[in-house]
Chain A
């Protein structure tokens, strides 16, 4: 029994083996004919199918549009991710919904407001660098004062020449740096990068502003990195400068030096053993000033008190 079954199985295999070329030869034309003619049933519902396909096509086209729009949004988000916010900053993403088409007032309106955590004075960046800062806030919208507005003043720092100054909007495409600090402006050269300095404790330090493009007698003209004709999505940096709460400073008796009659304006780092006249406000002020900034050159320090 077992032997016969094995034989029959082998025979079936052989037959299959033998007929397969024949089948292959014949199946080709059949498939060809079927491809050309198609299922007969399809002839009867071709209209309905067409209609359904057209509807599906329209739907898919809508999806395609949506996907394309989303792709640009995602790309912008990815580009925005390139900016590493300082620790403690919570970025708020927003779209530009309005813009002042005014000759002198340059501002934009974005769709994020106090409800999203936006506050006055916060920095606004896009994927390239700083765009401006928040000037007005309502519940669901806020206005960005752009860097070229006549009212715009932001503290900046020229890389390579260690010059600090204020970037002053002049209502042209290119604002100018007015040098306010005692650094000598001669060191500024065309092509040097300009970043926010963080002075004043409002804007974070190190946001890219632009490049020095021209120097005249008193000002350095800056080519902004921001391209206001293309600004669509921005990120508001919810950044609060770390400050030292004077109530939290515990001054132990052995750490506190004897009060002496030294000048009040004497900076601490100048004279480590010398006693500071006022123990309480001094750490607060110095901690804010030195936050993330290079230490001021020693010869510049005495003038700071004035």
Chain B
């Protein structure tokens, strides 16, 4: 009996990053309309994927990342597969640079996130512009990415505590 409860608890802990990513997508799909729609909504899944790619890639397998992106595509109605591709690319790059970022100062990791967000923005913008046939305005996406980068430090502290105290707790 106790072992089953332990198993459930372990599974819940292991699924927390994925659940957080999916929750972030739901947050993106809510009609929050921050400041009458002028303030862009931060892309929470981007932070989740970047954070766990560096501090615990085994807790966020590519299948999870793919499903997070797929849910976002389904809810926002964009071209199917774009967000999964962007998120998987982010994860690939972040995991490949893990050795550099792991254990570094938070400022450096934050800067890395900024660069990664800029890369994802550029990719999204190029693909969407190609698909629509005109050069789309990028400022809205840039504002959204800037908002995401702005909230990154707060989320990183929260996620670090969650990761250390709950998820990998033995």
Contacts and interface: CB of A to CB of B under 8 A. Distances in A.
A102 interface: yes
Contact of A136 (B30, B77, B131, B140): B77
Interface size class of B (residues with CB under 8 A): 20 to 34
A229 B33 contact: yes
Residue among A98, A99, A104, A229 with the highest chain B CB neighbour number at 10 A: A104
A108 B32 CA distance: 12
Contact of B128 (A98, A109, A135, A150): A150
A270 interface: no
Contacts of B38: 229
A100 interface: yes
A233 to B, nearest CB: 12
A104 B78 contact: yes
B36 interface: yes
B31 A107 contact: no
B70 to A, nearest CB: 14
A98 B25 CA distance: 11
Contacts of A143: 77
Contact of B77 (A135, A170, A171, A172): A135
B161 interface: no
B77 A101 contact: no
Nearest to A149: B77
A98 B136 CA distance: 24
A97 interface: yes
Contact of B76 (A96, A102, A171): A102
B124 A103 contact: yes
A105 interface: yes
A124 to B, nearest CB: 14
Interface size class of A (residues with CB under 8 A): 20 to 34
A180 B140 CA distance: 29
Interface in A96-142: 96-105, 107-109, 135-136
Given A98-B75, A102-B78, A105-B78, A171 B137 contact: yes
Given A98-B30, A108-B31, A103 B75 contact: no
A145 interface: yes
A110 to B, nearest CB: 10
Contacts of A105: 76-78
A228 interface: yes
B69 to A, nearest CB: 12
Contacts of A102: 28, 76, 78
A100 B36 contact: no
B17 interface: no
A101 B148 CA distance: 13
A229 B31 CA distance: 9
Interface in B101-120: none
B75 A100 contact: yes
A96 B29 CA distance: 11
B29 A109 contact: yes
Contacts of A104: 78, 124, 128, 136, 140-141
Given A97-B31, A143-B77, A150-B128, A103 B140 contact: yes
Contact of A171 (B30, B37, B136): B136
Given A99-B31, A101-B29, 10 more contacts: A98-B31, A100-B29, A101-B41, A103-B141, A104-B136, A149-B77, A150-B131, A171-B137, A172-B140, A229-B33
Interface of A: 96-105, 107-109, 135-136, 143, 145, 149-151, 170-172, 228-229
24 contacts: A96-B31, A98-B29, A98-B30, A99-B29, A99-B31, A99-B32, A99-B33, A100-B75, A100-B76, A100-B78, A101-B29, A101-B40, A101-B144, A103-B141, A104-B128, A104-B140, A149-B77, A150-B132, A150-B136, A151-B132, A171-B136, A171-B140, A229-B33, A229-B37
Instruction: Enumerate the 8 nearest inter-chain pairs by beta-carbon distance, A residue then B residue, closest first.
Output: A229-B37, A103-B141, A100-B76, A105-B78, A101-B41, A107-B77, A99-B31, A150-B132
